[in-house]
Amino acid sequence: MKIKEFSEIALNYKAIFFDAYGVLKNYNGLIPGISETFDMLLENDIDFYILTNDASRSPEQLAASYNSKGISCITPDKVISSGMLAREYLQYKVKHGAVVYLGTESSAHYLQSTGLKTLSVKDVDLNDLEQIQALVFLDDEGFSWQHDINKVVNILRKKNMSVIVANTDISYPVSKSEISIAIGGLADMVEEIIGKVFIRFGKPDAQMFMFAYEKLNAKKTIRKDEILMVGDTLKTDIIGGNKFGIDTVLVLSGNTIAEQAKIKISSTGIIPTYICESVVS
Amino acid sequence: MKIKEFSEIALNYKAIFFDAYGVLKNYNGLIPGISETFDMLLENDIDFYILTNDASRSPEQLAASYNSKGISCITPDKVISSGMLAREYLQYKVKHGAVVYLGTESSAHYLQSTGLKTLSVKDVDLNDLEQIQALVFLDDEGFSWQHDINKVVNILRKKNMSVIVANTDISYPVSKSEISIAIGGLADMVEEIIGKVFIRFGKPDAQMFMFAYEKLNAKKTIRKDEILMVGDTLKTDIIGGNKFGIDTVLVLSGNTIAEQAKIKISSTGIIPTYICESVVS
Amino acid sequence: MKIKEFSEIALNYKAIFFDAYGVLKNYNGLIPGISETFDMLLENDIDFYILTNDASRSPEQLAASYNSKGISCITPDKVISSGMLAREYLQYKVKHGAVVYLGTESSAHYLQSTGLKTLSVKDVDLNDLEQIQALVFLDDEGFSWQHDINKVVNILRKKNMSVIVANTDISYPVSKSEISIAIGGLADMVEEIIGKVFIRFGKPDAQMFMFAYEKLNAKKTIRKDEILMVGDTLKTDIIGGNKFGIDTVLVLSGNTIAEQAKIKISSTGIIPTYICESVVS
Amino acid sequence: MKIKEFSEIALNYKAIFFDAYGVLKNYNGLIPGISETFDMLLENDIDFYILTNDASRSPEQLAASYNSKGISCITPDKVISSGMLAREYLQYKVKHGAVVYLGTESSAHYLQSTGLKTLSVKDVDLNDLEQIQALVFLDDEGFSWQHDINKVVNILRKKNMSVIVANTDISYPVSKSEISIAIGGLADMVEEIIGKVFIRFGKPDAQMFMFAYEKLNAKKTIRKDEILMVGDTLKTDIIGGNKFGIDTVLVLSGNTIAEQAKIKISSTGIIPTYICESVVS
């Protein structure tokens, strides 16, 4: 598979879905030159959405991080996060009582914005779970892992309730060479120990793509073959885009490095339509 | 959880999604009295769709099996099968060449109807895979398991291509007490042996629900809280409906028998909104 | 399956292997009446060993906990722990350098007793891993879960080394109704995130049983059909004993409660030779 | 890791365990020059055993295949197969009734040699399972996959019994570029569909190594650090040998080819003590 220039490919589509981490930004901040990519999209009237497995911050906060670096076209409505889907689920399915969460207070604020009552795991009384209707894995920060993960296990043993994982990623990069376990990884462990089935939101699941697709089509009709998904990870971005029926670009600026791309494509059988160095070119 | 009458519940919704097997029919044919249930829906202007993990027959064939038994309101457009999603995927992603399939000739006819060139695994020449663009698991019948499943393994070792599983079910009932391994079970084995990642269509995946939801809303606007999913299996119908954000009914006329319902709900943590004996009442 | 008196069964064997937790003791201490069971064994010249998935303490410390409660026949040589097997492994395979561990200092003391140099994860310098030869999961206590588990992930990404899990259990009871995640559960999560293959010691693995069997036969020849395994957990004690070719007793004094025994046996297909209320009778 | 000459390494050990397929033979028959390797062992008084995941033939038949090609020192007592362990299990645990098997008649003959009554799956009457005490997965040949695997599923649903997998391998090579699904792969599928826990015999499990070790020590005392395991597969031979506490050689004449050895060692974390081109050198 030949490596192509991103701009050449992009011009053939009417809308582009971008993964955030590894595509638009990395541990150092925005990828240099990214603002020209967005200028190019605007000039050519190519619409876009950012699809990100993230439940730690609201779309407003996520957009602000781009705006503060000079990219003003990324408005909150352009950001579709797995946290949004989790929030939507809770709105539909939890009509009363409270939702317990594992994460920072800030990640819970976003849930509360719909009127949902939230409670941090650390504030739960194990002997009074009557009001608790659901449990959400939001973020890997903001709590004592040993104390609160064990508490989650015992909450779920005492009361049967829906469990939502608002970010399917099992790890995320924190520097050039180091990673951290993500909330999706902690949720997998608890699910295994408890033996129950959790509900997960995030790529590669079709729901993220559907959500963006509906938003696009609310403005004007766009067919699937006019949309391009750009991501750095085969097992979330690329297989998710492929399954949704849209073309896909694997970029080598993040999780999949140039030396391993060919081997990974061949060993997983997940085949992107194109490969590009990055979205800057 | 109290067992309720289905008709009482149904009247509170504007649309109902039904699973087919274990809900509308079983190994004996249609569940007795089912036509009155559909009469009730029509009288009360409640719309409906049938969501079925099945790629062995076209929606036309599936609808005909109801029509021949006197239920005329189940027209082909009311049937949404995992095979339809697989066919849509192949239309979008395979622009030339041929698709290899495991299944009956009849199951492949439906794929061909979109102009796709198909080839049974048994007719593939392992030394000439150039034209082959994708491989589809369609049905557990119509081929020699030993010969053709081994051939699939070697096709996938020789050429990297997309692999589609058009029915996620791992088994299906063939009589009151016996089951058969379904194509989804065979696909899981091949995936494990090959070490690649296959693309699956079928409940509990959100795509089935989205497809039905879009069809509903093309006619008139219906909110998610006005839709009910009815199924006999917690791990496909109920968790799929729950995750999609709609209310769910577990019926005890199929896969989940009355004596085990409580234990299964508690051990899986998959909680239906309601439980009914059947959809006939 | 009929519930039998333990003493009746025991008299038919020349040696008995006991699981510790749920069989001889629980969260409250020793199971009342247990000393009479050991008196009965001594009187009838029935040999015994305790096979326990535990790497938090040495056989000496484990034996002392019984001795202090008046059961003097449980000497250190009667205790076979998964930690012993892990220590033996490290002795054979690590000839120089240091072994990094996750656990309490006390759990590491036992490893050090063979001359092995150990280092707590928290004291490792991520930029100087040259001396590190292996990593051991010992105990769920004694470290910061968030900080040190993430550090383990990064150590294993930076240097390829053998990873040993000295206790396969994924959880353990801490009170009548609450459990804690065990070191085996944490190890499973790290293995999944890292994608490597760890080496595990503990039941149901045959090595525990072999170790006890060899000790027995060093004294006098005993055939497998003269040995009985007694445990409270189907997936470790019973299947381990069955696979090793010896008869098994499931006791209902621990992990498997009376109401669920039948269902668990039938759903797992793990069939004990006998079922007893407890070993006291 | 430097590639070394096998003979140089071998001379440092008192006993060697060999995997068969990919080490001593391949799809073409014996690896050329192998008889000189055995001459070298005999001359230097180095004992050996062959540890093979195979339940399709008896040790006698396996030895005969070497003898007929001129290697007379491989006598039946030198061959330790997973089928032997399965047979031993059945002898200890099945005292009456019959054992149902999936495999060739020839593979079942070996089981019958201990007086066990065996019955092919195809001859079982699903309505009369009273005499059936256990079910064994022996070989991937000798039965109709579609008919008999489905029948196995229904046998196990109707009667709770021990299930033994006499060969853990999920695939095996049939020519330079093609593989076949092995009985272990079929067993994995059935276990997943049935949801029960099967008992598996074969490398990497410690029992194979223990069996050989006991046989060695019945003749004269040999320590673990005087034994070498030679294999072509990291996930069976090498991790099995490592865990048992003995040194290991990965040969590049079978399953692990030279170009991939480094990547596989690094991605799995399974580290052989040495690497050799083959055992001929």
Tokens of C113: 């007793």
Instruction: Give me the half-sphere count of Cα atoms (radius 13 Å) on the Cβ side of residue A180.
Output: 12
Question: Residue B146: phi, psi to the nearest 5?
Answer: -65, -50
Per CATH, B6-53+206-276 and B83-200 having the same topology is answered yes
Query: CA-to-CA distance for B131 and B133, rounded, in angstroms?
Result: 6
Find the closest chain B residue to D142 by CA distance: B146
Per-residue pLDDT at D219: 87
Contact B245 A194 (CB under 8 A): no
ipTM of the complex: 0.95
Query: CA-to-CA distance for A38 and C260, rounded, in angstroms?
Result: 60
pLDDT average, residue stretch D243-249: 96
- The terminus-to-terminus CA distance of chain B in angstroms comes to 18
Q: Quickly count: other Cβ atoms within 10 Å of residue A44's Cβ.
A: 12
Find the closest chain C residue to A193 by CA distance: C170
* Chain A touched by C268 (CB under 8 Å): no
Tokens of C276: 């007893």
| C197: nearest CB among D160, D195, D268 | D268
CA distance C70 to chain D (A): 36
Radius of gyration for the alpha carbons in chain D, expressed in angstroms and rounded: 19
Query: CA-to-CA distance for D98 and B171, rounded, in angstroms?
Result: 28
Per-residue pLDDT at B210: 93
Max CA pair span of chain A:
61
pLDDT tens for residues D208-218?
999 999 999 98
Per-residue pLDDT at C162: 96
Is there a contact between D245 and C90 (Cβ–Cβ < 8 Å)? no
- The terminus-to-terminus CA distance of chain A in angstroms comes to 18
Q: Quickly count: other Cβ atoms within 10 Å of residue A147's Cβ.
A: 11
pLDDT tens for residues C124-142?
999 999 999 999 999 999 9
* Nearest partner of C134 among C190, C192, C92, C90, judged by Cα: C90
Residues of C in contact with D160 (CB under 8 A): 265-266, 269, 271
Pick the CATH number of B6-53+206-276 from 3.40.50.300, 3.40.50.1000, 1.20.210.10, 3.40.50.1980: 3.40.50.1000
pLDDT tens for residues D53-100?
999 999 999 999 999 999 999 999 999 999 999 999 999 899 899 999
Is there a contact between B148 and B121 (Cβ–Cβ < 8 Å)? yes
Indicate the pTM of the whole model: 0.96
pLDDT tens for residues D111-143?
998 889 999 999 999 999 999 999 999 999 999
pLDDT tens for residues B180-238?
999 999 999 999 999 999 999 999 999 999 999 999 998 889 999 999 999 999 999 99
Contact A269 B93 (CB under 8 A): no
Query: CA-to-CA distance for B183 and B141, rounded, in angstroms?
Result: 8
Is there a contact between C1 and C275 (Cβ–Cβ < 8 Å)? yes
pLDDT tens for residues A4-63?
999 999 999 999 999 999 999 998 899 999 999 999 999 999 999 999 999 999 999 999
Residue B167: is its pLDDT beyond 90? yes
Torsion of Cα atoms, D204 then D209 then D211 then D216, to 10°: 160
Is there a contact between D262 and D238 (Cβ–Cβ < 8 Å)? no
Contact C185 A170 (CB under 8 A): no
| A267: nearest CB among B195, B246, B269 | B195
Contact A179 C153 (CB under 8 A): yes
Residue B113: is its pLDDT beyond 90? no
| pLDDT interval class at A281 (50, 70, 90) | confident
Query: CA-to-CA distance for A13 and C73, rounded, in angstroms?
Result: 79
Per-residue pLDDT at A13: 98
Tokens of C260: 């669920």
Per-residue pLDDT at A2: 82
* Nearest partner of A19 among A181, A182, A253, A262, judged by Cα: A253
Residue B135: is its pLDDT beyond 90? yes
Torsion of Cα atoms, B19 then B20 then B23 then B29, to 10°: 180
| pLDDT interval class at C2 (50, 70, 90) | confident
Question: Residue D181: phi, psi to the nearest 5?
Answer: -70, 130
| A181: nearest CB among C177, C180, C193 | C193
* Range 183-242 of A in CB contact (< 8 A) with B: 194-199, 205-207, 210, 224-225, 235, 239, 242
Residues of A in contact with C185 (CB under 8 A): 189, 192-193
Per-residue pLDDT at A80: 97
* Nearest partner of B10 among B220, B230, B203, judged by Cα: B230
Query: CA-to-CA distance for D151 and C49, rounded, in angstroms?
Result: 42
Residues of B in contact with A235 (CB under 8 A): 197
Residue D1: is its pLDDT beyond 80? no
* Domains of chain B, residue spans: 6-53+206-276, 83-200
With contact defined as 3+ CB pairs under 8 Å, the chains touching B are A, D
pLDDT tens for residues B28-72?
899 999 999 999 999 999 999 999 999 999 999 999 999 999 999
Residues of A in contact with C192 (CB under 8 A): 170, 185, 188
Any idea which architecture B83-200 has in CATH?
3-Layer(aba) Sandwich (3.40)
Contact B92 A161 (CB under 8 A): no
Query: CA-to-CA distance for D239 and A243, rounded, in angstroms?
Result: 36
Tokens of D249: 């050689």
Tokens of D32: 């050329």
Chain mean position to CA C234: 14
Per-residue pLDDT at A113: 86
Question: Residue C154: phi, psi to the nearest 5?
Answer: -75, -35
